[in-house]
A and B are shown apart, each in its own frame.
Chain A
Amino acid sequence: MMRPPRRPRDMTDSTAPMGGLASGEQGRPARRSRGPWATAFLKLWHDRAAMAALGVVLLVVLACMLAPVYAGRVAHTDPFRSNLDGQFERNGEMVPVMETSTEGLGLGFTPIGPTWDFQAFFLGADNQGRDVMARLLYGGRNSLWIAGVATVICLLFATLIGLAGGYFGGPTDWVLTRLLDVLWAFPVYLLAISLSIVLIAKGIDIGPISITADSLWLPILIIGIVYVPYVARPIRGQVLSLRQSEFVLAAIGLGVPGWRILIRDILPNVTTTLIVFVPLLMALNMLTESALSFLSIGVQPPDASWGTIIQDGQALLYTRPIVALAPGVAIVITVLALNILGDGVRDALDPRAKLRLRSA
């Protein structure tokens, strides 16, 4: 791939002389401005670490998308059905998936270890004789999906609360801020446990919305809600100061309706903040999802996520450690890549790096 020649980073920085604007209008620009989005994008494009991280994230997503292909075409296995007396062919002979245990008291069975052969049990089998590699890919789909949708939900709520509170002020702001205070102080795992223990038995049934207990929407909603204050607070702060800026005061003076000011003038100004939060929140959500699934209040069996596979592997930790190690490595790689990408996006969009997300 050809790389364009490197230019000094700060060519289109705000420190550039003001003259550029006037000459630009004459059609023969001395120095063409690319606009803020293109500048940020180019900056990100030249950030090798961030681009490599983006590549890793895309690879992980692609691999997980191909889970059905792997399970159906390559490994010929059903990762959601218990396979205790299954057999498979290795080096021309049939071997059982559950080997008779040689360790400990010699009682019971140990699932087969990694064969390092993509055809069957690349990473071995779990307690129920299911292919760990296939479960890992399917689990990744759930982990990524939950983290992604929870990110969208969190940003949506945070934007609504931040915009409404910051713009309208008064009683609206008071109520919303107190709500955020309460959510903020509530320990994340305890809130999730409280909600799960109440919902996991029967699910929710409120009017038209009906969520069953084993639905993925339960962890999605829980994770999406618990981090709202982390995003809503900085957004509200920004809106609060934008509210006092001259262009907003001018719009108010012209009689533009409030919702229109919010959408046309204020929302575009907080968009960069929201984008900076996307990869960081996604990383945080993946960790939270895996923790909840590990505590058995996230994804419910027989579905898999990286957290549930680690939990399955806990019983096999000393005999078949790969079952717990592999999904953990997958989490570390994905979350690390998202964090590096997040750093790059922040450097590109928010050079003063005011936004930080505390990792739980």
Chain B
Amino acid sequence: MLGTVVHRVSQMLFVMFGISVLVFLIFFATPGSDPAARIAGRNASQETLAAVRADFGLDRPLPVQYVLMMKRLFVTRDLTSFVNRGWKVVPAVIDVAPVTLSLVTGAAVLWVIGGVVIGLLAAATKGSWLDRGLMILGLIGVSMPVYWLGEVMNLLTQSRFHDSWVFSWVPPLGYKPLSEDPGGWFLTLVIPWITLAVLYMGLYGRVLRASLVEAGQEDYIRTARSKGLSETRILIYHAFRTSLITVVTLFGLDFGALVGGAALLTEVVFGLQGIGKLTYDALLNLDLPVIMATVIYASFFVVLANAVVDLLYAFLDPRVRAR
């Protein structure tokens, strides 16, 4: 077990290093244009350009620039925006993290429950119209662009049916902190949660069904059946338990990916000022330091989440450890 941990952690550190180098090269060494001009933003004055050059050490060799940037991102954390003069970028990213976490956590609860129910129902009624209907619905969920579904939701809840009793409770777009207004926090997030969960619900339902059907052909299920156990018991206590490994792995990866940027579209559509929206606004303002910070922090989070999932996996499943 210790060997697995050491191996996985060193791999994680290596990937983090690789990502930081890749990001650095994208921003500082892409041929064609001057990095100082990109960092300074639109129509920057000569003084700003000079300030950027001095600030990022752009007249020094690339490895030195890399070390300088990493130091400012992680050690001193004083990377500043030039578009929004003097704005400290790293604290800004950490400030908005709760918004993204709220969005993703709530959606995750919804989609895991929904996905498990869909998967179990479909596998239990395999071949029936219910199974087919659920699978088609799941596939439609997977095939919808999430930002478009968000717009449709906005159209229904904010405009077309906002005055009817169905959606009159939906507050205007925006985010209310949990610590200040728990009720408002919940109400503003319900529609974004549902929107984000629809996609994953379909995906998880389909994956779980496939895994359950596959497990149904295993020897231990036949044994359980010949012992005379009821089908429900076999499905839930025998097949479902093994299938959970697949679901847990998938969940860890998706949760990490969503916090690390994949929730961006949902945040933009619903005006939730999270990490994704921060990145998007920076994109519109061409504010590179902000994007550097969000990209590095978010992808590090994804790498960390993946490593945790792998270790959990090794912990849960002895077969993985043995390798």
Among the stretches B63-71, B109-117, B164-172, B293-301, the one at the interface with A is B293-301
Most buried by A among B207, B250, B295: B295
Binds A, one of B74-82, B143-151, B218-226: B143-151
Report the minimal beta-carbon distance from A165 to chain B, rounded to whole angstroms: 16
Known: A190-B295, A360-B262. A181 touches B15 (CB 8 A): yes
The answer to whether A185 and B303 have CB atoms under 8 Å apart is yes
Contacting pair B18 A206 (CB below 8 A): no
Binds A, one of B84-92, B120-128, B152-160, B227-235: B152-160
Residues of B within 8 A of A206 (CB): 31
Within 8 A of A (CB), among B37-91: 38
- Asked if A356 and B207 sit within 8 Å, CB to CB, the answer is yes
A332 at the interface (CB under 8 A from B): yes
Q: Which chain A residues lie closer than 8 Å to B147 at the CB level?
A: 291, 294, 310
Interface size class of A (residues with CB under 8 A): 35 or more
Q: Is the CB of B257 within 8 A of A187?
A: yes
From B11, B32, B139, B295, A193 is in contact (CB under 8 Å) with: B295
Q: Is the CB of A197 within 8 A of B288?
A: yes
For A250, what are the chain B residues with a Cβ–Cβ distance below 8 Å?
Answer: none
- CB-CB < 8 A to B276: which residues of A? 189
**144-182 of chain A: CB within 8 A of chain B:** 178-179, 181-182
Contact B14 A190 (CB under 8 A): no
Write the chain A residue with the least CB distance to B261. A187
Interface membership of A142, Cβ < 8 A: no
A62 at the interface (CB under 8 A from B): no
Is B144 in contact with A317, judged by CB distance below 8 angstroms?
no
A332–B32 contact, CB under 8 A? no
A295→B280 contact, CB < 8 A = yes
Q: Does A203 contact B (CB under 8 A)?
A: yes
Interface of chain A residues 188 through 224 with chain B (CB within 8 A): 188-191, 193-199, 201-206
Q: A185-B19, A185-B299, A202-B32 are in contact. Are A190 and B294 (CB under 8 A)?
A: yes
Residues of A within 8 A of B139 (CB): 336, 339-340
Interface flags for B183-205 (1: CB within 8 Å of A; 0: not) read 00000000000000001000100
Say which one of A7-15, A113-121, A318-326 lies at the interface with B: A318-326
By a CB distance below 8 angstroms, the chain A residues around B294 are 190
Q: Does A97 contact B (CB under 8 A)?
A: no
The reply to whether B299 and A186 form a contact with Cβ atoms under 8 Å apart is: yes
Give the contact-size bracket for chain B. Answer: 35 or more
A290-B295 Cα distance, complex, nearest whole Å: 21
A287 interface residue, CB < 8 Å from B?
A: yes
Are the CB atoms of A181 and B140 closer together than 8 Å? no
Chain A 230-242 near chain B by CB (<8 Å), digits 1 or 0 = 0000000000000
Contact A328–B33 (Cβ < 8 Å): no
Mark A residues whose CB is within 8 Å of B: 178-179, 181-182, 185-191, 193-199, 201-206, 283, 287, 290-291, 294-297, 307, 310, 313-314, 317-318, 321, 324-325, 328, 331-332, 335-336, 339-340, 353, 356, 358-360
A359 touches B283 (CB 8 A): no
Q: Does B268 contact A (CB under 8 A)?
A: yes
Chain A proximity mask over B284-314: 1 for CB below 8 Å, otherwise 0: 1010100100110011001100100000000
| Interface set of B (CB-CB < 8 Å, partner A) | 11, 14-15, 18-19, 22-23, 26-27, 30-33, 38, 139-140, 142-148, 151-152, 154-155, 158-159, 199, 203, 207, 210, 250, 253-254, 257, 260-262, 264-265, 268, 276, 279-280, 283-284, 286, 288, 291, 294-295, 298-299, 302-303, 306
Contact (Cβ within 8 A) B291 A318:
no
A201 and B33 in contact (CB under 8 A), knowing A190-B295, A190-B299, A318-B159?
yes
Option from B11, B151, B261, B262 in Cβ contact (under 8 Å) with A181: B11
Distance A193 CA – B26 CA, assembled complex (angstroms): 11
Q: Which A-chain residue is minimally distant from B37 (CB atoms)?
A: A201
Q: Which residues of B contact A290 (CB under 8 A)?
A: 145, 148
Sample (24) of A-B pairs whose CB atoms are under 8 Å apart = A181-B15, A185-B306, A187-B299, A189-B276, A190-B260, A190-B294, A198-B27, A287-B145, A291-B146, A295-B268, A296-B283, A310-B148, A310-B151, A317-B155, A321-B155, A331-B145, A332-B143, A332-B144, A332-B148, A335-B143, A340-B139, A353-B210, A358-B254, A359-B142
Q: Are B199 and A185 in contact (CB under 8 A)?
A: no
Alpha-carbon distance between A331 and B140 when the two chains are bound, in angstroms? 11
Q: Which residues of B contact A197 (CB under 8 A)?
A: 38, 283, 286, 288, 291
Q: How far is the CA of A267 from the CA of B244 in the complex (A)?
A: 35
* Given A325-B152, A359-B203, A189 contacting B261 (CB threshold 8 A): yes
Quick check: A187 and B298 within 8 Å, CB to CB? Answer: yes
Looking at the assembled complex, report how far the CB atom of B162 sits from the nearest CB atom of chain A, in whole angstroms. Answer: 10
Chain B residues contacting A190 (CB-CB under 8 Å) are 260-261, 264, 279, 294-295, 298-299
- Cβ contacts under 8 Å, B155 to chain A: 317-318, 321, 324-325
* Supplied contacts A187-B302, A295-B268, A358-B203, 17 more A-B pairs, CB within 8 Å: A179-B18, A181-B11, A182-B15, A185-B306, A186-B302, A189-B262, A190-B261, A197-B286, A199-B30, A202-B32, A204-B32, A294-B265, A295-B264, A317-B155, A317-B159, A328-B145, A339-B142
Instruction: Tell me the smallest distance from the CB of B298 to a CB of chain A, in Å.
Output: 6
CB distance from B136 to the nearest CB of A (A): 9
The residue of chain A having its C-beta at the shortest distance from the C-beta of B279 within the complex is: A193
B148-A331 in contact (CB<8A) = yes
**A187, B262: Cβ atoms under 8 Å?**
yes
Query: Is there an interface contact between B26 and A195, defined as CB atoms closer than 8 Å?
Result: yes
Question: Residues of B contacting A356 with CB < 8 Å?
Answer: 207
Question: Using Cβ atoms and an 8 Å threshold, which residues of chain B touch A339?
Answer: 139, 142-143
For A288, the closest partner residue in chain B by CB is B145
The answer to whether B38 and A182 have CB atoms under 8 Å apart is no
Partner of A203, one of B32, B262, B265, B291: B32
Q: How far is the CB of B223 from the nearest CB of chain A, in Å? A: 22
Q: Are B199 and A328 in contact (CB under 8 A)?
A: no
Question: Are B18 and A314 interface neighbours, CB within 8 A?
Answer: no
Residue of B with least CB distance to A287: B145
